A and B are shown apart, each in its own frame.
Chain A
């Protein structure tokens, strides 16, 4: 390098001291990276570069911002240097303000878009899916997934992809469950040494060619309802602002999910018997009405059977052994009924110890089911040893020809059941309408 006195003065050295040195050596490392990877290639390919912004390290160690023009002249590179402190401070202020503004706008946009996406969501799956997608985009992750805490306290992935699935050999959900119980995010890197907190996760990351996994708690009303995880193929340290945004997103989603769950639970409760989990009376009537409406108008008549079932000997058990035992038996009966029916049949509890089975099928098919039910009930109940329990069943079969009301059909099945009771119990009576 040969330099004039002005430049030497800026650099804080004698002009002679610069001879034999590379211009590049006057630049700090960050600037060297750009200089060598971009500006020099452009210079060599184009023959010149204009208005390149660099910083020159002076002898005193300070950084002098400069604008550089360079041109190849034969064997030489001629470099013109313009001291640029004023322009730099102006541009840097502009840049830093612009970046701050952009970052703020980006964060607000993410939260707004998320809010809209979550508000539109009508299902747990939909909300979780939106959250996973937003997470992936916001964090520039290669994958993201959302897992929710199930009834037994386990974490189930509800949306997104978990690239570590099946790869964590040791304690499956230690990472997830730790995040849930501590309500704090955790980041695990493939480069962590094995003695660190999650050796199984580290091994899985390496196997999956991932570098980092970040797991965040999803909070709703200060309770953790699940986790959101982001996976990266490059080692990442998340900035505080990034973590904040993610936790805010997760909280938003969490609140919507909680509301959805409450709605779903209400809807479920409205249609299901709380003790046995079977369809309740309202639900049964609704199902029958639905099946009957317009059926008589169909070109080919299709039979429809309704089965009423009463437990013989149940009242005695309830009175003598207590409601606790009685309830247990009802729950078992519910289970055995479920086991006895066919895939599409509907099982419900009509009241007390009265059950209903709806078979959208012929009376013969329903009779076969009734037979199975009798076998199941006759097998007895451990809690009520010595107390015989059986089933009195009435089947009303509608042939599908003429219009029929729900009440008529139910009434017929109920009457048939009473007939079974009158005839000696532990049997099925069938009536074709």
Chain B
């Protein structure tokens, strides 16, 4: 389970800013730690903000990717546990988006003594419908997603190379984003997609022993409201907040609201 002799901070491209109580942010499928750029910096004044990339995403060490290990979210959770232990974090706050929230939850279940609070943004413990559970998707939908990924690979680098930047006054942003997006190996992304959307971590909700805040978008087709409610219902000490926001990335569509909710939860 542990990786001896591996520099986990380099492996996961860990970046740390600020000092104080540690807040660890975990991204989800499809992006990298960059997706926290509208939320995380707001905490650097009073907290120690820790960002990282899952192996295979962003600026992580792609050579560290082992299919057998990362064929389940447990492999990603093990990495997060290593990061937390390497940095010797205690009284830590975890903020995760989408599948990143489940990865953090699994890590917290392994080492609950190090985590004080969990914030799960647009979480879903299982995407494929099951008996008595409306996950939102069928197996065929996931297969279609994987096909879609392949098709988009043809235009992968073209999609990523920005022709027109939305922020011309920050040209360095262009390089940064291009690099972090481009470095995702398409076959790793394909595997990560399969693992993310075919995993079932409903049982793990029952084991969460850390106070948890679930932040839900009111109109999210990926992790619909009933799923957010399910998550909150199955975590013992939890609260559900539904933001009047559309889409699966509340932290990008309504960053100020997400920041406010996290602040209130930490107070």
Residue of B nearest to A30 (CB): B144
Q: What A residues does B31 contact at CB under 8 A?
A: 37-38, 41-42, 45
B120 to chain A, nearest CB (A): 16
Residue of A nearest to B181 (CB): A42
Question: Which residues B144-179 have CB closer than 8 A to chain A?
Answer: 144-145, 147-152, 154-155, 158-167, 174, 177
Please indicate which of the listed interface residues B30, B37, B174, B246 has the most CB atoms of chain A within 10 Å of its own CB: B30
**B222: contacting residue among A37, A48, A88, A209, CB under 8 A:** A37
Q: Are A51 and B151 in contact (CB under 8 A)?
A: no
Q: Are A45 and B252 in contact (CB under 8 A)?
A: yes
Residue of B nearest to A29 (CB): B141
One of A146-154, A229-237, A306-314, A317-325 at the interface: A229-237
Q: A52-B152, A88-B151, A92-B151 are in contact. Are A47 and B249 (CB under 8 A)?
A: no
Query: Please, what's the 1-or-0 string for A35-65, where 1 marks a CB less than 8 Å from any CB in chain B?
Result: 0111111101111111111110000000000
Q: A29-B141, A30-B144 are in contact. Are A52 and B222 (CB under 8 A)?
A: no
Q: Are A42 and B159 in contact (CB under 8 A)?
A: yes
One of A4-12, A135-143, A168-176, A376-384 at the interface: A135-143
Question: Which residues B102-143 have CB closer than 8 A to chain A?
Answer: 127, 136-138, 140-143
Q: Are B155 and A52 in contact (CB under 8 A)?
A: yes
Residue of B nearest to A44 (CB): B252
Please indicate which of the listed interface residues A32, A37, A91, A141 has the most CB atoms of chain B within 10 Å of its own CB: A37
A128 to chain B, nearest CB (A): 18
Q: What B residues does A142 contact at CB under 8 A?
A: 68-69, 71-72, 75
Q: A34-B152, A142-B71 are in contact. Are A47 and B167 (CB under 8 A)?
A: yes
Q: How far is the CA of A142 from the CA of B163 in the complex (A)?
A: 42
Q: Are A140 and B67 in contact (CB under 8 A)?
A: yes
Asked if B29 is an interface residue, CB under 8 A from chain A, the answer is yes
Q: How far is the CA of A170 from the CA of B88 in the complex (A)?
A: 41
Asked if B74 is an interface residue, CB under 8 A from chain A, the answer is yes
Interface size on B, residues (CB 8 A): 63
Q: A141-B71, A142-B72 are in contact. Are A33 and B162 (CB under 8 A)?
A: no
Q: Are A41 and B30 in contact (CB under 8 A)?
A: yes
Q: How far is the CA of A88 from the CA of B159 in the complex (A)?
A: 16
Q: Are B148 and A235 in contact (CB under 8 A)?
A: no
Q: Are A235 and B200 in contact (CB under 8 A)?
A: yes
Q: What A residues does B166 contact at CB under 8 A?
A: 46-48, 71-72
Residue of B nearest to A48 (CB): B164
Q: What B residues does A233 contact at CB under 8 A?
A: 71-72, 74-75
Q: What B residues does A137 contact at CB under 8 A?
A: 67-68
Asked if A28 is an interface residue, CB under 8 A from chain B, the answer is yes
Q: What A residues does B165 contact at CB under 8 A?
A: 46-48
Asked if A24 is an interface residue, CB under 8 A from chain B, the answer is yes
Q: Are B68 and A95 in contact (CB under 8 A)?
A: no
Q: Are A33 and B145 in contact (CB under 8 A)?
A: yes
A133 to chain B, nearest CB (A): 11
Asked if B183 is an interface residue, CB under 8 A from chain A, the answer is no
Residue of A nearest to B37 (CB): A45
Q: Are B29 and A37 in contact (CB under 8 A)?
A: yes
Q: What B residues does A53 contact at CB under 8 A?
A: 148, 151-152, 154-155
Q: Are B151 and A50 in contact (CB under 8 A)?
A: no
Q: How far is the CA of A41 from the CA of B180 in the complex (A)?
A: 13
A91 to chain B, nearest CB (A): 6
Q: What A residues does B138 contact at CB under 8 A?
A: 29
Residue of A nearest to B251 (CB): A41
**A209: contacting residue among B74, B167, B197, CB under 8 A:** B74
Q: What A residues does B69 contact at CB under 8 A?
A: 142
11 CB contacts below 8 A, A to B, read A29-B137, A30-B142, A30-B144, A30-B148, A36-B249, A48-B166, A53-B154, A71-B166, A92-B151, A142-B75, A233-B75
Further contacts, 8 of them, CB under 8 A, given A22-B246, A28-B141, A50-B163: A36-B249, A41-B249, A45-B31, A45-B177, A53-B155, A141-B71, A191-B200, A234-B199
Binding site for A on B (CB under 8 A): 28-31, 34-35, 37, 67-69, 71-75, 98, 127, 136-138, 140-145, 147-152, 154-155, 158-167, 174, 177, 181, 191, 195, 197-200, 219-222, 246-249, 252-253
